[in-house]
């Protein structure tokens, strides 16, 4: 009898074990693509935190080289098979292309929390075709001027409040044997971000931006031509043979304390600090002619998180997107990546640099060509970058390059065709 009962018990145990998988929690695996191989460890930590709170979802990260990302992503989304479920998406015109192709899921009704994001951050994730939001805004970038605090202390300099004071500081640094300004012009996009850091305080920031987008003024407006001329006026303070100085050369010069200033984006801070932990730097907005006029900084949305319209796992993808919209994630972006998070309500007190960026953003204006004129070809950015290189080496005047930019955009931009 005992032997019989033992057999029955063994059978029950075996049946229970066989049936166990049927009661186990089902796990949905989603693919997450980024263009940030340098941030793989950060996103692995993010994914681990998400999976701990959502054990029914597994996230697999695929980090692709920045310069290859758009081509690979576009091909995958077009094919459907092998496409990611969640992916980093560009902002403005970059997002528009994918939205118009039907590759992205509109999130307006699926994520009511997007209403809490600022208008400026949502703009980078919004289609100008249908007005829908196709991504969770992730980070913003700000164009400003870095300066070496030790050099300023050595030379008795203070943060300039006018353009003349800025030039005087540059002159003092040059006289002391420093490269006054690290910026070079070998790559056209470096000319655009130089102008993004210098120009707005001269063309009037938002007032000009709103008028030119509406077609109420043009890029040959004398106030804009004067703003463009200002970057040409900086050439005496740039490195020797600046026309051959590439982006990485600029970074190295400032990091190694050969240069006293670097006009660039807030995205540089994390790299500067990691390459030279002893580098004592801070930032300011490049001022205009008068101290009483606002010193503007150009700001743009740099990245969104989106869901592929072709994804068969949109419910799980949406869970992950909601996690990427939390304050906890936003604060990790600030503290670990030294980026300005787009998530509302993020505490930046632990990062003085980001707090300073946000302080400067009190006078912010859209990064002109990226935000307003990168939706059709030729883009405002491509036009300005090529023309600005000609300006900086003296082949063209500011008036001439502004006319070329105006003509190129007017070839398709309806407000300029009135």
pLDDT at 24: 60
- Domain coverage including residue 314: 24-139+302-359
Out of 359, 386, 408, a domain closes at 359
Mean pLDDT value of segment 344-352: 92
Residues 179, 255, single domain; the answer is yes
Cα separation values, 96 from 89, 241, 376, 383, Å: 10, 38, 10, 19
pLDDT at 17: 44
Residues 353, 221, single domain; the answer is no
Q: How far apart are CA 293 and CA 345, in angstroms?
A: 29
Handedness of CA 371, 375, 380, 385 (dihedral sign): positive
Out of 315, 342, 359, a domain closes at 359
pLDDT at 81: 83
- Is there a domain that residue 7 lies in? no
Instruction: Domain count for the chain, please give it.
Output: 2
Checking if the pLDDT of 5 tops 50, the result is no
- Is there a domain that residue 19 lies in? no
Q: How far apart are CA 106 and CA 202, in angstroms?
A: 38
Residues 293, 253, single domain; the answer is yes
What token pair was written down for 26?
């089902």
pLDDT at 80: 83
Strand partners, 340: 140
Q: How far apart are CA 75 and CA 308, in angstroms?
A: 13
What are 71-113's pLDDT values in tens digits?
999 999 999 889 999 999 999 999 999 999 999 999 999 999 9
Checking if the pLDDT of 15 tops 80, the result is no
Residues 121, 153, single domain; the answer is no
- Is there a domain that residue 289 lies in? yes
Confidence of residue 210 (pLDDT cuts 50, 70, 90): very high
Beta-sheet pairing, 297-307 with 86-89: antiparallel
- Is there a domain that residue 5 lies in? no
Q: What is the CATH number of the domain that holds 397?
A: 3.40.190.10
Out of 340, 359, 378, a domain closes at 359
Q: Which of 338, 294, 276, 285 is nearest to 139 (CA)?
A: 338
Omega cis (within 30) before 378: yes
Cα separation values, 196 from 45, 141, 190, 302, 334, Å: 34, 11, 10, 14, 23
- Is there a domain that residue 3 lies in? no
Residues 171, 316, single domain; the answer is no
Residues 89, 161, single domain; the answer is no
What are 290-331's pLDDT values in tens digits?
999 999 999 999 999 999 999 999 999 999 999 999 999 999
What are 235-286's pLDDT values in tens digits?
999 999 999 999 999 999 999 999 999 999 999 998 899 899 999 999 999 9
Residues 372, 387, single domain; the answer is yes
Residues 130, 250, single domain; the answer is no
């Amino acid at each position: 009898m005992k032997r019989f009962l033992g057999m029955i018990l063994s059978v029950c145990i075996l049946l229970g074990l066989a049936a166990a998988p049927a009661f186990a929690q089902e796990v949905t695996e989603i693919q997450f693509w980024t263009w940030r191989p340098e941030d793989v460890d950060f996103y692995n930590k993010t994914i681990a935190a998400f999976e701990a709170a959502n054990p029914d979802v597994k996230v697999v990260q695929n980090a692709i080289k920045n310069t290859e990302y758009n081509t690979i992503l576009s091909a995958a989304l077009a094919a459907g098979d092998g496409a990611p479920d969640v992916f980093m998406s560009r902002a403005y015109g970059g997002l528009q292309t994918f939205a118009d192709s039907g590759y992205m899921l509109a999130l307006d009704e699926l994520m009511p929390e997007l209403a809490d994001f600022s208008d400026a951050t949502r703009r980078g994730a919004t289609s100008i075709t249908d007005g829908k939001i196709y991504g969770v805004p992730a980070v913003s970038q700000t164009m400003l001027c870095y300066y070496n605090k030790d050099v300023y202390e050595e030379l008795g300099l203070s943060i300039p409040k006018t353009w003349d004071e800025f030039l005087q500081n540059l002159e003092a640094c040059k006289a002391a044997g420093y490269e006054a300004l690290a910026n070079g012009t070998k790559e056209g996009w470096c000319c655009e971000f130089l102008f993004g850091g210098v120009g707005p305080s001269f063309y009037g920031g938002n007032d000009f931006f709103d008028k030119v987008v509406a077609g109420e003024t043009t890029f040959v407006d004398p106030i804009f031509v004067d703003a463009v001329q200002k970057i040409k006026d900086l050439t005496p303070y740039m490195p020797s043979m600046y026309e051959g100085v590439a982006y990485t050369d600029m970074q190295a010069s400032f990091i190694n304390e050969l240069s006293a200033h670097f006009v660039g984006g807030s995205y540089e801070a994390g790299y500067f600090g990691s390459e030279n932990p002893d580098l004592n730097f801070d930032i300011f907005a490049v001022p205009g002619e008068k101290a009483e006029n606002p010193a503007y900084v150009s700001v743009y949305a740099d990245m969104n998180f989106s869901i592929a319209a072709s994804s068969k796992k949109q419910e799980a993808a949406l869970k992950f997107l909601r996690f990427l919209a939390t304050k906890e994630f936003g604060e990790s972006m600030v503290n670990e990546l030294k980026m300005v998070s787009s998530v509302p309500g993020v505490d930046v007190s632990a990062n003085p640099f980001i707090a300073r960026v946000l302080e400067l953003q009190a006078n912010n204006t859209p990064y002109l060509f990226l935000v307003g004129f990168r939706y059709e070809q030729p883009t405002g950015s491509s036009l300005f970058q090529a023309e600005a290189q000609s300006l900086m080496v003296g082949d063209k005047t500011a008036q001439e390059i502004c006319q070329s930019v105006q003509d190129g955009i007017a070839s398709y931009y309806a407000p300029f065709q009135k």
